[in-house]
Structures are given as structure tokens and as C-alpha cells.
Amino acid sequence: MELAEVAVLGSVLALFLTSAVIAVFPRRWQRWSHIPCVLALFGSSIASLAAIWVGIEREMRIPWRWLDLPGPVTEVVLQFDGFTPWMLGIVNLIAMLVALYSMTYMAGDEGYRRYFSIFTLFVAMMSMLVLVGNLLLLYLFWEGVGLCSYLLIGHYRTQRASTAARKAFLVNRVADVALLIAIILLAWNWGTLNIRDLIEQVTVKREEASATLQIVAVLLVIGAMGKSAQLPFHIWLPDAMEGPTPVSALIHAATMVAAGVYLLIRMLPVLVVSPVALMLGSWVGTVTAVVAGLFAVAEWDLKRVLAYSTISQLGYMFAAVGIAISGESNFAGYVMIFHLITHALFKALLFLCSGNIMHATGGVIDMSRLGGLKNQLGVTHWLFVIGGLSLAGIIPFAGYWSKDEILIGLAKSGGNSGGWVIVMLLGVVGPLLTGLYIGRAYWLTFQGDGAEVPREKDNESLWEVVPPLVLATGAVLAGLVLGPGRVLAGGLGIGLPEEEGVSFVPAVALAFAALGIVSGMMMGRRARGGTPSGWHAWYGVRKAIENGFYFDYVLFHGLGHVLGAMGKAVKLIDEVVIDGGLSAIAAVSYRVGNFIRQIQIGEIGFYAVSIGLGILVIWATLLLTFGMQ
Amino acid sequence: MAEAQELVAFCILSMVALPLGVGIGFIVRQGSASNAGMWIAMSCFGAVVALWLAIIVAMPTVFKKNGGENEFEALVIVGLSESAGRSGFFDGVLRVDRVNIWLVGMTSVLSLCAAWYSLFGEGQRVLDYYGWLLVLESGALATFLAESLLVFYVAFEFTLVPLLFIIGMWGGPQRRQAALKFMIYTLAGSLLSLIGIVAVAYGFSGVTGRALTFSISDLLNLSSRGTRLPLELQYWAFLALAVGFGIKVPVIPLHTWLPAAHVEAPTAGSVLLAGVMLKLGAFGLLRMAVPLLPDATRVVGMSVGAVMAAGGIVYGALCAGAQEDIKRLVAYSSISHMGLCVLGLVSGTTLGVTGGVMQMINHGLITGALFILVGCVYTRVHKRNMSELGGLAKVAPRWAGFFVFFCLAGLGLPGLNGFVSELLTIYGTLISARVQWGAFFGLAGIVLSAWYLLTMVMKVCYGETRLPTTASVSDLNKGEFCVLMLLASLCIAIGLFPGYLIQELMPQSRAIAALVSGSSP
């Protein structure tokens, strides 16, 4: 075992341990709870960076079985491949920065200890999810990540927070059922759940691309859609804003939603067998990217804008699985993780910025009440600009390079998938919408006079600035270094296909993004005037968009009501029909008994007469039946 | 080797006899309990757990050598295999094997927890209360350990008495009706199962031409060697047994005694009712109905039985979602979870049966803990309606932590015990020959259980408290904390390291599955 491996494994174990240690901290040490967390995360970041540097690639089988199922091999397998250290690196690095940020953001919170304990557990779960090479174990940590996000979203323990937390868990659970079925089917049909063995079996025996495998592939994509908040499972993510803002940064950048994309990357060689599943993923991603962008344009809550933006960007990553249709699963994996990394950097940055805004305004995040913050929060303003430009995909910021690779890849495989529509949607409409919402959000928040903005405090404190500054550096440089510098492709060990001339797609996307930003800022300026002009004629459409096309109403509230009504109906049946029926039987026998009881009057004479009459009746009956013959 | 067997036999006998003796003593003596009395009661509960642990330790040595009797009339045999030429009315009284020992363990631990909680949580200090709890424990243990069908029946029936007293004397305001309903229901069921038991025993004696035997081991051996009752008899016997045990489980639509009894029972009663009594019915299915009547199981059990079980999963879950009273909610969730258990038992697959047995154990631990948690709230604020609670996470964080934990275990979070049995059962059902459709009900149960349990958590733990401001709510005291900690660590242990348990349960499950799915006449 190499040193880097030991370091990585040790640091993940240390994270679990740290979480437990923080959980049992004495209450008077509560305000020091962040120290073990930050230290552990620092260690794990260093370890994973070292792993990237060394470039480990191996599989470790640990002689312990979690669930001993007979057919499938369910031993614990840790799989280091090209993707693992990169994923670990981005998870731990962002988590560490967010933890540093949380120190001031969460200061004075009564649940400070609980926050950092779950926070550390969250990162540990995600790290394990990245490391394990066995689907059943992956499911364990998959749900573990879901649990931590449930607990953190509900951190403030208000009614709204708990509703949002429950929603996140339930929506994920529905998608997780798909993943669970896929796992059972794989175990049953292929006798193993080790990802590497599965890939081997599937790629070697191509002819076994049976109907079952097709179903499994589709189910895997559906499972990933839940965690990565793709349509129609996206409804949980905007509500998850009820959690503390750093938690949003964590969920959106590193620990939660990335899991779905990561599952797809891991399983790409299996998914390749099923073009249906790839098409499904690609189309769902594309539609999500566009529709979520649309929702973001109509949203007034800054954090919800960012949430929809995450959904939209994850849509890009999902759409990229379409590249694998032409068989280039490696390249698809590369662009997906590339965008995942850059997105993690700039989205965490944007969320930390919004955290600063909330602190400065005393929790106000409604953009109709914000404005003019560029004077008050000078540093945050520039950080937000960097994040926004990167998100919109403006050259040379990180977002440009990764989105560019997705578009080029899709355009190349466009002939195969018939997906030119996808390319058009992602290359033209997507950037336009992205520019629109981020430009609008920027203007509404930072420009204008902002006389009515509540002011809690001026300027940011040190630890409110340092973590986002690091992230901003990443958002500026990461794309250039990782993409054109070929660092990421080299690190992953992927030979990129030759560039066949300069594709025009990125240029078009860039142009539309720029157009979007400008129009978005204009839109924000006009909205500031109070008249949502230009929207009137489209009132119905606007309402529909503002309500997120009623997904939430129909899928969540609607289903909730249906379930509730069914429950009430069943309860009624239970109480009235089943229990009532039995009570009725009991009542009838009671009545009959009561009636018959009246014969027992206790008079010996009456009894004697009855006996005599009875004998007579019996005698007569006997006579009639036998005597007549 | 022989010493180990004697030791095990001694342990088993004392497990049944000790609580019975002490319990009867307490009941006869009556009166409020002194400290000494409480110590005796607690050490008695503790002793049973210790005896169980001793058996667990001794088990590997005993089972290395296949079976054998001993002079204590206790029978120690392995799996379904070993039994030689005994016949008679009472062939052996108790038996222990790799399956029932775990149910015994769950019973002893839950009884200890229930008693411990009653003493330190509810502050119940009446001697005969603990007497009845001890008698109940003894009866339940005897049922699980029964070797003779008649012993099984007597013990099965006998558990009614202490439970009746516990509900009827220490229950809630409607306790009389609830106790009566419970008694009539289960008595009717037991009579049916008596008919079934007698029919099975006489049937086997008729088919083999040998002397009448009530020995479960002998009958299991006969069955596993291919002796089958005539189909007609199998159907009728299965019907009698299944309805009798189904009432106890309970399978819909024979369940309406359960919510009433739970709501009125004192906490310890609820814990043992859900944790142990329901398992007696499921255990009857596992021990008798399924392996002794395999053809009937295949025909009736996999159709009607599976429909009722799978329907029960969804029915119980929907009912639970519509409840306002959290104790009723937990009661209905039991119906849902036990539906999954029965589905696994009749699935006819190794995994399904194993999952069903695991579900018995896991459900016992989780639901027992949930009832204790509900009891903790009720003793403090005398409220159980969700609309009157709320915000408890702020006032009682430890309580809320445990509440969330056990709800998560109940909804099958991987890493906790509920998931293991759910996965095994659903897997087993999905790969079964005839009840594949049942898996989808199981999966629906996974989603629905998350729905009603998390809704309960949301309404009870989060938000603003709706309790009157005068109510001062204290967090868990030390006694309650210890009990819940014990149960929680068991949940985690089974959830993370289920391997050993699965290995222990698997051989017998495999034998049962082979019987049911194997050669048909």
C-alpha cells in the first residue's frame, strides 16, 4: 500500500471519528466545535491532493462483508481509479473552505456542535461514496449522504426547515427505490455488485445486453436523477435553501448533488450498453438545463435562483452522458467531472457570497428588497462577479472551459444520437438563460440605490472573505489549468480525441451568454422600477414559470394530498367497516344472548312445564319420522 | 461437549422457570414494591439476558456435534436434521436451535428494557406489575423454545393471561374494552390454531402409520424427508393455522384488536405486545404452517397469504399516515412492517425467509424503542396527539435525537437494522417464483414508511411547541437514556454487522425454502 493510499483512507476514517468526537463534545466546549472539523478536513484535503499528485490507480479488497448475500460478491471494495482522487480532492477542498466560512457564519448558533458534527459526517459519507467500488456499499453511503443533508437542511428546526428536509428525503427516497431495484437486479443476474467486475462482465459479454441490463441502466439513471435533482425530482433542491447557507454551498457544490453525476461517471461503461438509458439521461439533462434556467429567471429569492442554477448546471453534466452514445465513455466521464469540478468551485463561491449578503442584511435574501450592495459589500461584489461570469461561461473563467468541452463533445457525437437539438438547446438557449438570470440577480442585488435594504453590518469579516477568495481563484484559474492545460485529462489518464479544427459551438455559446448577461442586467434594472413590463401579455406564462411549471404542486403536494386522502379513506374503512363489522357481530350475539336469557325466570314450575313440553316435542318428532314408516 | 449441552439445557430451563417462579411469587405477594423487590425483579430480567448470552457463547460447541438429547428433557438439536426414534406424547419440552435462539434473545432484551423503563421512566412501583411482566416473558420464551406442539400451544395461549392483566389493570381509560377485544380475538385465533395443530399431528401419524407425535423436531424431519399430508388436509390445516397465527401477527383484516390494545396498554405492555407477542404468530407460521404444510403454503400461502401480507404493508402504512395519535401511528406501522415479514416467510426463497426472521427481530427492537419514546412523552405531558405536541427537539434534544434515530431505523436507512431485513425480504420476494409482484408492495412500503415516519418527526420534533406554556418538559432521565442507548446500539450493530446473524439464520431458511419451493406432489 502506498503512502498516499494510507493517507486517504486514514483521513476518511479520521473524518468519521471526528464527527463522533464533536458529537460528544461537552457543551461548554461547544464554541470550539469547528476546530476538529477544520483540522480533519484540512488533513483529508492534503491527502487527496497527494493522491492526485501520485495518481493512484488500484483496487483494494477488504476482507469484510457488510451484507452477506449468497449470490453476489458483497465484499468491501475500495476502488481508486483516475476519477477517485479528483472527486475526493474537490469534495474535501470545498468542504474545508465551507467549514472555515461556517466558523463565523454559524457563530453563536445554539446548534453549533451539532452542525459541525453532521457537517463532518456529511463529508465523510461523501468521501466513502466516492471511494467504494461496490454498489451495495455505495447505496449505504448514498443514503448516508441523504441523511446528513436531511439533518442539515432541518438544522434550524423551524416548521419550514423541517418541511423542506422531509421533502428532500422523500423525493430522494422515491428515486432511491429505482437504484435499489437496479442493485437487486444486478446482484441477481450478474452475481456481483463490484463495479469493476460488473463492467468486465458487461463489456466482455456484449451479447448479454439483455432486456434486464437495459432496465438496470435506465433505473440507474433514474436513481442518479433523484440525487442530482433532475426533472422531475428537482423539486427538493430549491426548498433545501431553508438550511444554513454554508450547507447549501456544501450540498450544491460537493457533497450531495454531485453524487448522482458521480454514479453516472462510475457506471458509464455499463450504461454504454444501453443507448436508451443514455438518451434518457441526455434528454432529461438538456430539458432540465433549459427549464431550470427559465425558473431561475423568474425567481425573486437569490438563493433559490442559485438553486435553480445548480439544477440547470447539473443538467449540463447529465446531458453529457449523451457523448457516450458514440462509445466514448471515457471522454464523457472526463467532461462530466470537469464541469462538476468547475461548477463546484463557482457555485460554492456564489453561495458563500449570498451568505455574506444575508449576514449584511440580517437574513434578507428577497431580491425585490435588495439593491446597491456593491458599496456596502465591496469584496463580495467582485467575488460575485467572478462567480457569475464563470457560471455564465464567459472566457476565460472556469465555467467556459468545461461547458465548452461538453458542447464540443455533444456536437461531435451529435450525428449518432440525433442530438443536434440537444446541442442547440445547450449551446444557445442554455447560455442565454444562464446569462439572463445571473445578470438579473447581479443587478437586483448589487446595483441600484438600495435605500430600503436593511443594514445589519458593513463590510465582511476576515473569514467571510478568505474562503470565497480561494474559491474565486479557483473559478478564475481552474478552467485554464485543467482544460486547455490538459492537466485533468492527463490526471485521469484519458487520451482526448484529436481536435478537428475549431468548433464554432463554444463561440456561439459565448456570444449568447454575453447577450444574456447584458439583457439580464437590463431586465433587473427595469424590474427595479417596479413594473414588470413586457411580461403583462404573457401573464399566464409568467405565472406558470414563477410556479415552476407546477411540478411541485402536482408531484409533491398533489401526491401528498392523494396519499393523505387515501390514508383517511383507509382509516375510515378500518374503523367503520372492519372494526365496526366485528363490533356489530359482537353486539348481535350480545343482544341474542340477552333475549334468550329472559327465558330463565327461575320458577321451578315453569321449568317443569318446559321439560314436559320438550319431551313431548321430541317424542312427537321421533314418532313422525320413524313411526310412520 | 456433553458439558456444553448440559449447560445449554440448564440455561434454557432456567430461562423459562426463573421468571415464571419469581413472577408468580411477586403476584402472590402483591403490594407496593420495596427496593429489594425491585432489585430482585431487575436481576431476574438481567439473569435471563445473561443466560441467553451464555447459550450464545456455548452454541458453537453444541452445534459442532449434531444434536442429541439430555436428561433435563430439554432438547438441543441442530436445524431440521437430527432426531432419532423417539415417540410419545410429550417428546421433549423445549428445543433450541439457530433460529429461535435469536428470537429468545430479542425477547429477553426487550423484556429487560421494558421493565427497566417501567421502573426508571414511568416510575411504576407495584410488585405484581413486574410479576406479570416476568410471567409474560416466561410464556413468550416457552413459546419460542417449544419442542412439543402442545407445549407451544399452551405457552402461546398462556401469554394471553399476563398481557390481559397488564392491559386490564394498568392500562388507559378504555382498558377494559381493549382487553376484552384483545382476548376474544386472540382466543378465537388460538382455538383455530389448536385445531390446526391437532390436525397436523394426527395427519402425520396417519400418513406414516407411526405413533402419534407432537414433537416439532420429528414432524419437521418427516416433512423435510418428503412426508406430505394429503392435500385436502393440508389446505384445511393451513387455513386453521394461518388464521390463528394471522390474528396474532396481525394480518389484515384480522388486525383491529391491535391499535386498541396498544393505545390502552401501559408502555411496557405495548413494548412486549409489539416486540414479542406479534412475533409469536409469525413464529408459528415459520415453525409450523410453512414447513409442515409446504404444498398448502405454495398454493394458499403464496396467493391469499401473500395478498394479505402485501396488502397489509400498504394498508398499514396508509392507516399510519392518517393517524393523529402517535401511539396509534406506531401501532399501525407495526401492521405494515409485519406484513413485510409475513411476505418474506411465504415467499419460498432462502433470502425471503431469512429476511422475514430478521424483520421479526428488527421490528421488535425498533418498535419497542418507539413505544418507549412515546411513553416518555406521555408520562411527561399526557398528550399523544401530533397537533398538541411539536418543537420537542428544542425542549428535549436527547429524546428527539433518539426519536429521529429509531424512525430512521424504521424507515430502513442503510446502516441500521431495518434496512437489512427489508433488503433481504424484498430481494427474496423479487426472485421468488410466485410472489414477485409482492416486491413492489415492499418497495411501496419503503417509500410510505419514510412518508409517515418523517411526517411524524416533522410534527412532533420540529417547529414551535404547541404544548401549554405551563408544561415543563424535562429531557430523558438516566434510566430512559440507558434503555434507549442499549436498543440503539443493537440497531446499529445489526445494521452494520448483520453477517453473523444472516449466516446463523440461513441454513434453516434454506431448508424451509427448499420444502416450499421443492418437489410438489
CB contact (8 A) between residue A169 and residue B454: yes
User: Can you give the pLDDT at residue B71?
Assistant: 27
Residues 74-93 of chain B with CB under 8 A from chain A are: none
Rounded to an integer, the average pLDDT of B339-347 is 93
Give pTM, 2 decimals: 0.91
Instruction: Give the pLDDT of residue B68.
Output: 39
Please return the burial class of B195, using the count of CB atoms within 10 Å of its CB with bins 0-12, 13-18 and 19+: middle
Give me the mean pLDDT over the B95-111 stretch: 90
Are the beta carbons of B184 and A173 separated by less than 8 Å? Answer: no
Query: Do B393 and A177 count as a contact with CB atoms less than 8 A apart?
Result: no
A165-174: average pLDDT:
92
* The C-alpha cell that represents B404 in the structure block: 429521529
Pairwise pLDDT comparison (A525 vs A250), residue with the higher score: A250
Does A166 contact B457 at a Cβ distance shorter than 8 Å?
Answer: yes
Q: Is the C-alpha dihedral spanning B454, B459, B465, B471 positive or negative?
A: negative
**Sequence-distant (≥ 6) Cβ neighbours of residue A86 within 8 angstroms:** A52, A337, A341, A488, A491, A492
Q: How far is A179 from chain B (nearest CA, A)?
A: 11
Radius of gyration of the CA atoms of chain A, in A:
31
Instruction: Enter the C-alpha cell of residue B169.
Output: 389493570
Among A115, A180, A186, which would you mutate to test the B interface (most chain B Cβ atoms within 10 Å of its Cβ)?
A: A180
More confident residue, A224 or B10: A224
- Shortest Cα distance, chain A CAs vs residue B315, angstroms: 7
Question: Please, which residues 389-448 of chain B have a Cβ atom closer than 8 Å to chain A?
Answer: 391, 393-394, 408, 413-415, 420, 423-424, 426-427, 430-431, 443, 446-448
Q: What is the pLDDT of residue B272?
A: 93
* Chain A: closest CA distance from residue B462 (Å): 5
- In whole angstroms, give the CA distance from residue B151 to residue B145: 9
Q: What is the pLDDT of residue B66?
A: 44
Convert the pLDDT of each residue in A78-115 to its tens digit.
888 888 888 999 999 999 999 999 988 888 888 888 89
Report for A392-406, A491-505, B33-47, B398-412: range of highest mean pLDDT: B398-412
Closest by Cβ to A571, choosing from B319, B446, B447:
B319
Q: With an 8 Å Cβ cutoff, is B498 touching chain A?
A: yes
pLDDT per residue as tens digits for the range A38-71: 999 999 998 888 888 887 777 777 777 787 776 6
Q: Where are the beta strands (DSSP E) in A82-135?
A: none
| pLDDT surpasses 80 at A490 | no
Residues 6 or more apart in contact with residue B304 via CB below 8 angstroms = none
In angstroms, the separation between the Cα of residue B406 and the nearest Cα of chain A is 13
pLDDT of residue A344: 92
pLDDT at B286 over 50: yes
Spell out which residues of chain B touch residue A555, defining contact as CB-CB under 8 Å: none
Instruction: Answer whether B414 sits within 8 Å of A143, measured CB to CB.
Output: yes
DSSP-assigned letters across all residues of B336-364: HHHHHHHHHHHS-SHHHHHHHHHHHHHHH
Amino acid letter, residue A550: Y
For residue A123, the Cα-to-chain-centroid distance in whole angstroms is: 14
Contacts of B351 in chain A (CB under 8 A): 69-70
Task: Judge: A161–B321 Cβ closer than 8 Å, yes or no.
Answer: no
Of A478, A346, A331, nearest in space to A401 by CA:
A478
Statement: residue A373 has pLDDT above 90? no
Nearest by CB: A177 against B319, B413, B443 = B443
B-chain CB neighbours of A564 within 8 Å are 321-322
Alpha-carbon gap, residue B506 to B501, rounded angstroms: 8
E-state strands within B450-512: none
Between CA A55 and CA A220 the distance in angstroms is 28
- Predicted pLDDT of residue B317: 93
Per-residue confidence at A451, pLDDT binned at 50, 70, 90? low
Other C-beta atoms closer than 10 Å to the C-beta of B493 total 14
Whether the bond between A269 and the residue before it is cis, its omega within 30 degrees of 0, is no
Report d(CA B285, CA B283) in Å as an integer: 5
Count of all residues that appear for chain B in the document: 521
Report the run of H or E that residue A60 belongs to, with start and end: strand A58-65
Q: Residue B84: what pLDDT?
A: 42
* % of chain B with per-residue pLDDT over 90: 39
Interface of B with A in 228-267 (CB under 8 A): 252-253, 255-256
Q: What distance in Å separates residue A174's CA from the closest CA in chain B?
A: 6
Query: How far is Cα B199 from Cα B234, in angstroms, rounded to an integer?
Result: 9
Contacts of B12 (CB under 8 A, 6+ apart): B51, B55, B74, B76, B94, B96, B145
Distance CA(A223)–CA(A286), nearest Å, equals 17
Predicted confidence (pLDDT) per residue in A328-350, tens digit: 778 888 889 999 999 999 999 99
Tell whether B350 is within 8 A of chain A (Cβ): yes
Burial class (CB in 10 A: 0-12, 13-18, 19+), B211: exposed
Of B484, B365, B383, B384, nearest to B116 by C-alpha is B484
- For B322, the closest of A180, A568, A582 (CB atoms) is A568
pLDDT(B83) > 50 = no
Rounded CA separation B318/B339 (Å): 13
Of A174, A566, A579, the CB nearest to B256: A579
Task: List the 450-479 stretch of B: residues with Cβ below 8 A of A.
Answer: 450-451, 454-455, 457-458, 461-464
- How far is A627 from B14, CA to CA, in rounded Å? 67
Give how far Cα A503 sits from Cα of A405, A434, A482, A511, B335, Å. Answer: 10, 21, 19, 14, 62
Comparing C-alpha atoms, which of A205, A28, A43 is closest to residue A124?
Answer: A43
pLDDT for B77 beyond 50: no
DSSP string of B70-120, one letter each residue: -TTSEEE--TTT---S--BSS--SEEE-TTHHHHHHHHHHHHHHHHHHHHH
Q: What is the pLDDT of residue A279?
A: 86
Query: Between vectors from CA A342 to CA A338 and to CA A344, what angle results, nearest 5°?
Result: 115
Closest CA to B174 of B278, B276, B255, B257: B257
Q: Beta strand A58-65 with A75-80: parallel, antiparallel or unpaired?
A: antiparallel
Nearest to B322 among A139, A158, A571 (CB): A571
State pLDDT tens for residues A9-18: 889 999 999 9
Which pLDDT band holds residue B7 (cuts at 50, 70, 90)? confident
Half-sphere exposure of A420 (CA within 13 A, CB side): 1
> With an 8 Å Cβ cutoff, is B501 touching chain A?
no
Answer whether A62 touches B (CB < 8 Å). Answer: no
- Amino acid of residue A379: V
Q: Does B184 touch chain A (CB under 8 A)?
A: yes
Distance from CA of A143 to the nearest CA of B (A): 7
What pLDDT, on the 0 to 100 scale, is given for residue A528?
60
If you ran DSSP here, which 8-state letter would residue A447 be given? S
Count of A-B CB contacts under 8 Å: 113
- For B:120-179, CB contacts with A below 8 A are none
Residues 251-290 on A with a CB inside 8 Å of B are: none
Q: What's the angle, vertex CA B253, arms to CA B248 and CA B259, rounded to 5?
A: 60
